[in-house]
Structure 1
């Protein structure tokens, strides 16, 4: 029987501090990083996604970043396919595949080889839902999903129209909810997994989120969104519904003040972090580390090293000199 490929995963809510640890771990273990973030696939969307810069990568290969223009409707199924290919390619070259990110469905679908619904696209149904949303608003469409699939509604933001409509479409065609389909998925991974989750006190995390948003604004988030709009990327696109983009786009359209847009962004990002943690909590194989005390970075790194050693047992070399 062929041995399973080793797959290292580092996940956690936005702003928890995944990037620095991921770089240290990748350097120490000869790993290549696969982004597990649904927004960092888009070119030109850098500030609002807190995308790592080429200089910050420190020569460590990163995959599934900047692979599509913002007009492209990226999906979980495509991420799974491309992620699987990246894992095979990285492993074939003798490197350790290393997923880093915070998009729970993307990461879980890849780690466990989820099968996706066979419900086909029903353009008439989708158009009907789109028209309903246009007439009655995003919250009304979200309420439709909540009525038939409350678990999926809790996971999906009301502005995530494409995924809400897809969940409604699956129920419409199969009489089975998207959440029950996910729950029925096999939890046996095709990989030898080591999943590390980062968490911290909620108050500390929320402060880090707000500080990050302030930094994004200082770095030019408003100008980034304005540039995307000027290039013809409309507000209805999947990419432009991302946190930071829809709020600033509303401000640029004169619908809110900048202060109102920023307050809304901070609130929605806090809520998003809460949803991320809720999603991760049902993944039983995660080894959690509280990283709330930033001054203890080296201690957290050693804890992760011990977890990796325990999970992979052998066949993965580590020396302290590798991270120097």
Structure 2
């Protein structure tokens, strides 16, 4: 099986910078496992690394669709299945890096998405229901038929709520219990975390930095291009929270306060999802004196569990 290093964790845990250091040490190429960094033009709000920040390390699955294009976990998995063998063929180590738990699990466990393809009529009915009753009604139903999925899908994420309910009705099985195909990769999963107070402080600092870098202007530009705030891309943290401000319905201070709160809640949901997987080796960022020391430890683990066997 092909080797795969997975670096995961909650938002603001420092995955991007550490992953780049690890990639330089191991000759890695990074595959983004972020459901929102796939969208073009959503740069600041998704914390997408700039060309300079990538420091020459190849990155994959950034900026591959427009904000009004549909992108889902099945398509992500298909893209990764194409990319990983090409990376290995170049003599490099594939590194899956991000915080979208379902995307990562779909790759590591080779989820089978063949049953339950989209049903246009059912999807239309669910969309109408969402418009009529609100996303909260869909989330309440999902909590009843698939509690595990409800814990990891935001109550406002209409697209993913519809997909989860769609799979449940079409297959009779919860989306959280998707079938698995044969394993394709020899994976090592490393989870990055931080002490809660420091993680929350990092989240607040990140939001403040995003505002300074032009997040408001980025969101305003997206709306000016005709992209409606109902698009899945606008469900990304940092955009939907700014829409009330841009419409004159809230102050910027209030929008930022809500964004910080929702990002903290999101980080908690990410950790809840990841901690179900006992295969993950957790490293506390605050237990290491520097990013370099943390990267060296991850590299040591990868060399022992992936590269030695591969060679």
1:225 aligned partner? 219
Q: Report which stretch shifted further, 293-302 or 14-23.
A: 293-302
RMSD over aligned CA atoms reads: 1.7
For residues 153 and 43 of structure 2, the distance between their equivalents in structure 1, rounded to whole angstroms, comes to 23
Q: Which of the numbers 214, 236, 258 marks the counterpart of 2:208?
A: 214
1:172-202 CA distance string (max 9 Å, x none)? 22332222x23x536x631121211101111
For residues 190 and 166 of structure 1, the distance between their equivalents in structure 2, rounded to whole angstroms, comes to 25
2:115 aligned partner? 118
Q: Report which stretch shifted further, 145-154 or 264-273.
A: 145-154
Q: Please give the secondary structure, in 2, of the residue aligned with 1:244.
A: coil
Q: Which of the numbers 98, 105, 108 marks the counterpart of 2:102?
A: 105
Contact 1:34/1:100 (<8 A) preserved: yes
**Equivalences for 1:4-19 in 2 at 5 Å?**
4-19=1-16
For residues 185 and 258 of structure 2, the distance between their equivalents in structure 1, rounded to whole angstroms, comes to 40
**Is 1:304 matched up with 2:298?**
yes
**Is 1:76 matched up with 2:70?**
no
Contact 1:18/1:100 (<8 A) preserved: yes
For residues 294 and 204 of structure 1, the distance between their equivalents in structure 2, rounded to whole angstroms, comes to 14
For residues 62 and 51 of structure 2, the distance between their equivalents in structure 1, rounded to whole angstroms, comes to 11
1:160-181 CA distance string (max 9 Å, x none)? 11111111112222332222x2
1:147 aligned partner? 144
State the TM-score, normalized to the length of structure 1: 0.91
After TM superposition, the runs of 4+ consecutive aligned structure 1 residues lying more than 6 A away are none
Q: Please give the secondary structure, in 1, of the residue aligned with 2:189.
A: strand
Q: Structure 2: where are the runs of 5+ without partners? A: none
State the TM-score, normalized to the length of structure 2: 0.95
Q: Structure 1: where are the runs of 5+ without partners? A: 318-324
Q: Which of the numbers 115, 132, 136 marks the counterpart of 2:133?
A: 136
**Is 1:175 matched up with 2:169?**
no
Q: Please give the secondary structure, in 1, of the residue aligned with 2:283.
A: strand
2:156 aligned partner? 159
1:322 aligned partner? none
**Is 1:314 matched up with 2:311?**
no
Contact 1:287/1:307 (<8 A) preserved: no
For residues 21 and 207 of structure 2, the distance between their equivalents in structure 1, rounded to whole angstroms, comes to 25
**Is 1:288 matched up with 2:282?**
yes
1:185 aligned partner? 180
Change in CA separation of 1:100 and 1:241 when aligned onto 2, cut-off 3 Å: same
Post-superposition offset of 1:159: 1.4
Post-superposition offset of 1:103: 0.7
2:63 aligned partner? 66
1:52 aligned partner? 49
Q: Report which stretch shifted further, 163-172 or 37-46.
A: 163-172
For residues 305 and 118 of structure 2, the distance between their equivalents in structure 1, rounded to whole angstroms, comes to 41
2:234 aligned partner? 240
Post-superposition offset of 1:281: 1.0
